[in-house]
Amino acid sequence: MEAHALARHVRMSPQKARLVMDLIRGQKAPEALQTLKYTEKRAAKHIEKVLRSAIANARQKADEAGAPLDEDQLYVSNCFVNEGPRWKRLRPAPMGRAFRYQKRTAHLWVGVAEHHAAAAERVAANVAEAEAQKGVRGTARRVRKALTGKQAPPKKGKK
């Protein structure tokens, strides 16, 4: 199960946000949340919010698919910061002039995925359940056929 979340136009320099993003890349989701909680950077608060949203998106996606999801097995599969639009501003300068400066914004993107071992176990469990159901359905059909005493019509084809 994979999911992602995106926060756009965050009023922060992308360079400063990348410093915090590098701390959580590849970590398990609960560990990444703890790291962000105790990081004393302003970007940590925004990135934590996006990470929580990505985890909630994964939970929602699993519910829609009807698949079980262990949130402790989620990890930060990929995360990056892109530069957003810049706000151009003017600052008064001596002798009637103006200095131009830019307020930078950032787009924060965090993706989470289920750990490969947990995903493999889940797939194996689903396959085993499907095989068990397949045998039950086949058995019911054979019993029904035996009770009615009807034979299946012969298959048409080349001999």
Task: Parse the chain into domains and list their residue ranges.
Answer: 2-114, 116-149
pLDDT tens, 51-65? 999 999 999 999 998
In the predicted structure, residue 159 carries a pLDDT above the cut 60:
no
Q: What is the mean pLDDT of residues 36-61?
A: 96
What percentage of the chain's residues is helix, strand, coil (to nearest 5)?
50, 25, 20
**Confidence grade of residue 14 (pLDDT, cut at 50, 70, 90):** very high
Pick from 108, 101, 98, 96: nearest CA to 14? 108
Instruction: Tell me which of 142 and 27 has the higher pLDDT.
Output: 27
CA atoms within 13 A of residue 86's CA, in its CB half-sphere: 11
Q: What is the mean pLDDT of residues 96-116?
A: 94
> Contact, 7 vs 46, CB < 8 A?
yes
Overall CATH class of domain 2-114: alpha beta
- What contacts 48, CB < 8 A, 6 or more positions away? 33, 36, 37
In this structure, what DSSP letter does residue 71 have? G
